[in-house]
Structure 1
Amino acid sequence: MSVPERAVVTVPGPGGCGDYATNIALQLAGAAGQPPLRVAEILRSRLVDEPSVSDVVVTGPGFLNLSLQGAASAGIVDEILRRGLRYGHADAAGGSVVRLRCAADVRAVVVADSVARVLRSQGDSVRITCDGRPAPEWGSLLGVDLEDSGAPPGPTGLPGLPGAPGQGGLPDVPDLPHLDVTVRPVPASGDPLPLGRDAARWALLHPAGHDRPHITGDHLVQRESNPLFRVRYAHARTRALLHNAADLGFQSEPGPVHDSDATALVAALGDHPRVLAAAASHRTPDRLARHLVSVADATLPLLPAVLPLGEEKPSAAHRARLALAEAAGTVLAGGLSLLGIDAPHHL
């Protein structure tokens, strides 16, 4: 039986219940040759034994509705704060040795640079080889590592250990799989350099590789209509809340957060490692960019309830919400760094 590439987990819709809902039983039913409700009941019997799950209810044609133990969201937040910007990264090197090849086109070079960053986050060793000589300003203005571009690969394949691009040489590692990957995104319709590093990289990376990016001034607009602004604004707000909470004399502390606004955010944060793994596996940094927009859009509704109002004293709920906001800011900053984009504390 084939297993779907990804299981979609969302906030329950009309008729649903609990914290999260998924249609995975409907996806599996056809390949299993079983009715969706039968598959859903089998999955339910397994899920209810998970220590982080308090209840599983089957609704409609076979939707699974999960309720989590109060400590589940706290566990995700605690892991993010413990791992920091490396949340979702592989614990150690030892993946594949990858040579990324791209054309001497500004979008192809930027996409290859970001793909290399994401691959390194998953433990792969990467070198970029460019077919042609990239323009020098792509390095100076867009932050692309051009040290090895245009040069033939070395005898071992690919220098560059997980970490900063262009870092040192790579010894021969015959036990690891060696991959040759060509990155071929559709070229941009204009020159992104006038946008500056951050907006230009976002304009080139946010659309899927098969879509043509439109290079316009909209990427510089400081409004909600600009996805990059929402991502960086959400990050800056979380940093400001940490500063404001310190002024009020309290700090973040992971704990259960039962606010309805927190449900989608916890789901998005918990999904971050899977998104990084998928972006690496499919060489698609656009998946990461769109995920960051989802995290930002789930973060912003939570923020007004983080700090005490008026004469209200900070409580465990405020500390837990602050920790959740801090975790969201951490994921946003870490994701932006893999796209080669800064996450300023102030906008």
Structure 2
Amino acid sequence: MTPEQLSTAIVDVLTTLTDEGTLALPDGVPASVTVERPRQKGHGDYATNVALQLAKKAGTNPRALAELVAARLTATDGIGDVEIAGPGFLNITVEAGAQGQVALDVLAAGERYGANDAFAGEKINLEFVSANPTGPIHIGGVRWAAVGDALGRIFTLTGAEVTREYYFNDHGAQIDRFSRSLLASAKGEPAPEDGYGGQYIHDIASAVVAQRPDVKDLADDEAQEVFRAIGVDMMFGEIKQSLHEFGVDFDVYFHEDDLHKSGAVDRAIARLTEMGNTYESEGALWLRTEKFGDDKDRVIIKSDGNGAYISGDLAYYLDKRERGFDRCLIMLGADHHGYVGRMNAMCAAFGDVPGQNLEILIGQMVNLLQDGEPVRMSKRAGTVITLEDLVGAIGKDAARYALARYSSDSNIDLDLDLWTKAESANPVYYVQYVHARVSSILRNAADLGLEPGTAMELLTHEKEGELLRALAELPRVVASAAELREPHRVARYLEDTAGIYHRFYDNCRVLPMGDEEPNDLHRARLALVAATRVVFANGLELLGVSAPERM
């Protein structure tokens, strides 16, 4: 029996009590109640504080309400005992058969175990990474690659229609600096003062020259345009390939330059002007963002007639909404924290709801350590640590897991030595090892001709119950990770459940020994092991990490 099933059973009890007039709830029976695993042993399998939450509304005291609920809940199929604790907590013990049913439910659901329909019908545009095409993806962008892709997988499992989108910044000053840097490299000159350095600049410059040998004969302004057209395309192709090898692919690569060439900026400004949210002052066109919570109004078109940076943001947001997206999520680095207020104000200026139609997630810094010392720069990029550096140091699985394992709003110090160790101190090894171990058990069982059974009422050992309750938590964890935009909850759940599985394995022998005849307990435990494999495979899949059969 899962927490969700217990919640439904408690709601049914409350409904029966109100229907017969025993209980009065002016606001009606809640659609669901919170059911959690108790922190202390001896407090049952699950606990709820529903009586404390509803007693005042019902005009009674919590303990009296708890007694009413407990009396009816005890008679529910699958409930072994309901104990009232403290001021009115309900500690619920589930019958072994009902608890064991969890394993069969997991096996029946397979790859869909953990799914729900919380975001069914929603079209979500998930924009992440969006690194400037002026160099390899740095470690901050890598973090968003891991977190963003995992969040997309989680949203999909909760019923959303997800579009992963990469905003290709191919318009503006940074592209000019990039193309000037390539030209300087091709001429054997130092990089411009405001340009880009690193071996990758020399590599791309050489590749452009190899493709267009005549570029050296052109005037600098013409040559720069060649380096812009070919060099940016090469750099972006390299970025896409790096992300693909990292297991991250996008559905849409949106070019910023298209917004300016297509007239999308003008259309967005016209829409805002019609709504009365622009005005002219000092020869410039302004957006009334202050009235929507920003610290000041923002210039859209500067006095020289050129668009300010926000002009592209306006057009891009409107374009997403016109493509039918209900929710636009944008993941930005810590250096973009100042953009949140103006972006939310922009959303409101279009008549939308910040936090609903537009959400902005901010990710903090990632620091790499080796031998206890900071790793500061890449040999290839020159000034930053890149995606290739990280994957080359610890591997793709460890990199994805490590970056998705922490809350995005916290800084990360990644110890490269730790994440390469084949031992339990390495979190990704610890979790993957469970999948490999249960896969080995299932292979050995198959060699013995032993298949998972259904006599789940035989699973009465304390450690079996702990594992079953842990497996039952995955749907709640997935729902919470989606609601809070926190994929790290899946990783931490897997680590907790790994510890519970190892304690089960140490205490409960799954396969018969020697000449021992297989019995129904072996088969029931084998079903529990098979369900464990499903849970770990599904959890790792959500993080974009492999589930190895052998280690």
Q: TM-score range by the shorter chain?
A: 0.7 to 0.9
CA deviation after TM superposition for structure 1 residue 247, in Å: 1.8
CA deviation after TM superposition for structure 1 residue 82, in Å: 1.2
Partner SS, residue 126 of structure 1? strand
Report if the CA contact (8 A) 2:33-2:50 is conserved.
Answer: no
2:157 equivalent in structure 1: 121
In 2, Cα distance between equivalents of 1:248 and 1:234: 21
1:325 equivalent in structure 2: 529
Partner SS, residue 201 of structure 1? helix
In 2, Cα distance between equivalents of 1:212 and 1:5: 34
Alpha-carbon displacement from aligned partner over 1:36-68 (angstroms, at most 9, x marks no partner): 534533442343243221211123444432222
Report if the CA contact (8 A) 1:23-1:62 is conserved.
Answer: no
Which of residues 143, 146, 154 in structure 1 aligns to 2:247?
143
Alpha-carbon displacement from aligned partner over 1:15-56 (angstroms, at most 9, x marks no partner): x254x1425258637975865534533442343243221211
Indicate the structure (1 or 2) with the bigger Cα radius of gyration: 2
Report if the CA contact (8 A) 2:34-2:50 is conserved.
Answer: no
CA deviation after TM superposition for structure 1 residue 258, in Å: 0.8
2:394 equivalent in structure 1: 195
Partner SS, residue 503 of structure 2? coil
CA deviation after TM superposition for structure 1 residue 9, in Å: 1.2
Which of residues 502, 513, 516 in structure 2 aligns to 1:309?
513
Report if the CA contact (8 A) 2:165-2:251 is conserved.
Answer: no
| 1:1-347 aligned within 5 A | 6-10=34-38, 12-13=40-41, 16-18=42-44, 20-22=45-47, 24-25=49-50, 28=53, 36-90=62-116, 94-103=120-129, 104=131, 105-132=141-168, 135-136=239-240, 138-151=242-255, 155-157=322-324, 179-190=357-368, 191=385, 192-193=390-391, 194-217=393-416, 218-254=418-454, 255-256=456-457, 257-304=459-506, 305-347=509-551
CA deviation after TM superposition for structure 1 residue 71, in Å: 2.0
CA deviation after TM superposition for structure 1 residue 131, in Å: 4.5
Alpha-carbon displacement from aligned partner over 1:233-260 (angstroms, at most 9, x marks no partner): 1111111111111222211113221111
Equivalent AA in structure 1 for residue 142 of structure 2: V
Name the CA shift for 1:46/1:219 in 2 (closer, same or farther; >3 Å): farther
CA deviation after TM superposition for structure 1 residue 316, in Å: 0.6
CA deviation after TM superposition for structure 1 residue 145, in Å: 1.2
Report if the CA contact (8 A) 2:165-2:250 is conserved.
Answer: no
Report if the CA contact (8 A) 2:116-2:475 is conserved.
Answer: no
Partner SS, residue 284 of structure 1? coil
Name the CA shift for 1:92/1:83 in 2 (closer, same or farther; >3 Å): farther
In 1, Cα distance between equivalents of 2:39 and 2:515: 33
Partner SS, residue 82 of structure 2? strand
In 1, Cα distance between equivalents of 2:449 and 2:103: 21
Name the CA shift for 1:25/1:91 in 2 (closer, same or farther; >3 Å): closer
CA deviation after TM superposition for structure 1 residue 295, in Å: 1.8
Equivalent AA in structure 2 for residue 184 of structure 1: I
Alpha-carbon displacement from aligned partner over 1:145-179 (angstroms, at most 9, x marks no partner): 134244466652459xxxxxxxxxxxxxxxxxx84
Partner SS, residue 412 of structure 2? coil
In 2, Cα distance between equivalents of 1:310 and 1:297: 28
CA deviation after TM superposition for structure 1 residue 330, in Å: 0.6
TM-score by length of 1: 0.83
CA deviation after TM superposition for structure 1 residue 184, in Å: 2.1
Report if the CA contact (8 A) 2:147-2:404 is conserved.
Answer: yes
Alpha-carbon displacement from aligned partner over 1:59-103 (angstroms, at most 9, x marks no partner): 344443222223212321111111112112147994311112335
CA deviation after TM superposition for structure 1 residue 323, in Å: 0.5
In 2, Cα distance between equivalents of 1:9 and 1:82: 24
Q: Give aligned-pair identity as a percent.
A: 30
Name the CA shift for 1:125/1:307 in 2 (closer, same or farther; >3 Å): same
Structure 1 residue ranges without an equivalent (≥5): 160-177
Aligned residues: 326
Name the CA shift for 1:125/1:28 in 2 (closer, same or farther; >3 Å): same
Report if the CA contact (8 A) 1:102-1:184 is conserved.
Answer: no
Equivalent AA in structure 1 for residue 492 of structure 2: R
Equivalent AA in structure 1 for residue 432 of structure 2: R
Equivalent AA in structure 2 for residue 67 of structure 1: T
Report if the CA contact (8 A) 2:116-2:479 is conserved.
Answer: no
Structure 2 residue ranges without an equivalent (≥5): 1-26, 132-140, 170-235, 256-315, 327-355, 369-384
Higher helix share: 2
CA deviation after TM superposition for structure 1 residue 11, in Å: 6.3
Equivalent AA in structure 2 for residue 249 of structure 1: G
Equivalent AA in structure 2 for residue 271 of structure 1: E
Partner SS, residue 10 of structure 1? coil
